[in-house]
Amino acid sequence: MKIAFFTAKSYDKYYFNQQLSGTSHEITYFEDALNTETAVLTRGFDAVCVFVNNQVDRETIELIAGYGVKAVALRSAGVNNIDLQAADDAGLHVFRVPAYSPEAVAEHTAALILTLNRKTHKAYNRVRENNFSLESLTGFNIHGKAVGVIGTGKIGVAFCRIMRGMGCTINAFDPWQNEEVIEMGGKYMELDELLANSNIISLHCPLMHETKHIIDKQAIDKMNNSPMLINTSRGALINTADVIEGLKEKKIGSLGIDVYEQEEHIFFQDLSEQVIEDDEIARLMAFPNVLITGHQAFLTKEALNEIAKTTLNNLSAFEAGEEVENRVRP
């Protein structure tokens, strides 16, 4: 199968090339994102492979279907960046990688919490300038704190295990209760109760109509403890403008994000010599109690290897005419 691979990075090429042996697939790597302007590059290909920063809308789908593409392979778990109905209408099969490494994302979430709390990023920069002052580096004990976990799928459960190991209590919210969370002592509650009674709040739910802007002004007003807010899931789970106001009013104690609502225009590229025109992320970066990473929570050797393996297995099964377990429908 001939695969057009979009927004290819060096790490993508390394791990996918390792998994190619023993398959019939041939990959052509493109650094560009897939969109209406680059859709012509898919002419003569059987499938496209895209990441979360490719917004695959109806017009793009209709174009690539016209060029002969039969499948869209997402090398991610989330599918909010593709118009699934349009793909189904065009006869395209869509596949995803549902669980490449829950631990990778959960561990990065814990890293954001520890860094924000103990200000190790600031201490690192100080020491490099021979400044060994401890002023303004005071944190708090994470042990004994209440951690609110919104979304208790595979990543949420992995995160709960880490926080339980650090001596935290778990407040959980999810329409579908996970027995693993209950067995480790987690307590399920309504969202309002979680917001009001958690010292740290971490988002681990998919982006859907029901979860978009789950953290907005109304939710922030219900927070009683000026909690630390962490998002390593999808950017649009939080209303950025409302969170900025929450930080200014000190209703949110600190913020750590690995995802951003408009990240497709910013993340995964070097903009160090450019002026960032996005006012909201510029405002966030001005806060001393905000830590932003550029969608790197998934970026471990184990996760990249599993992403490559599962993506190619999905396409191999499709090529063989088999039912693909990881197919996504509208």
Q: Using alpha carbons, select from 8, 10, 13 the residue that is nearest to residue 31.
A: 8
271: amino acid identity, one letter? L
In this structure, what token pair is assigned to residue 189?
């509650």
In DSSP terms, 146 is beta-bridged to 169
Q: Which of the following is catalytic: 96, 204, 263, 264? A: 263
Is residue 118 part of the annotated active site? The answer reads: no
* Other residues' Cβ atoms within 10 Å of the Cβ of residue 170: 23
**CA atoms of 84 and 82, how far apart (whole Å):** 6
List Cα–Cα distances, 123 to 128, 133, 138, 256, 316, in angstroms: 9, 9, 11, 17, 49
In DSSP terms, 148 is beta-bridged to 171, 201
Q: Which of the following is catalytic: 75, 204, 234, 306? A: 234
Is residue 234 part of the annotated active site? The answer reads: yes
Degrees (nearest 5) of the Cα angle 198, 192, 224? 45
List Cα–Cα distances, 137 to 126, 226, 284, 285, 291, in angstroms: 11, 18, 20, 18, 15
Is residue 295 part of the annotated active site? The answer reads: yes
- What stretches of the chain adopt beta strand conformation (E)? 2-5, 26-29, 47-50, 71-74, 93-95, 146-150, 169-173, 187-188, 200-203, 228-231, 254-257, 290-292, 327-328
Q: Is the dihedral of CA 7, 10, 15, 17 positive or negative?
A: positive
In this structure, what token pair is assigned to residue 170?
């778990």
Q: What letter would DSSP give residue 44?
A: T
**CA atoms of 276 and 259, how far apart (whole Å):** 16
In this structure, what token pair is assigned to residue 323?
């039912």
Q: Which of the following is catalytic: 75, 96, 204, 295? A: 295
Active site residues: 234, 263, 295
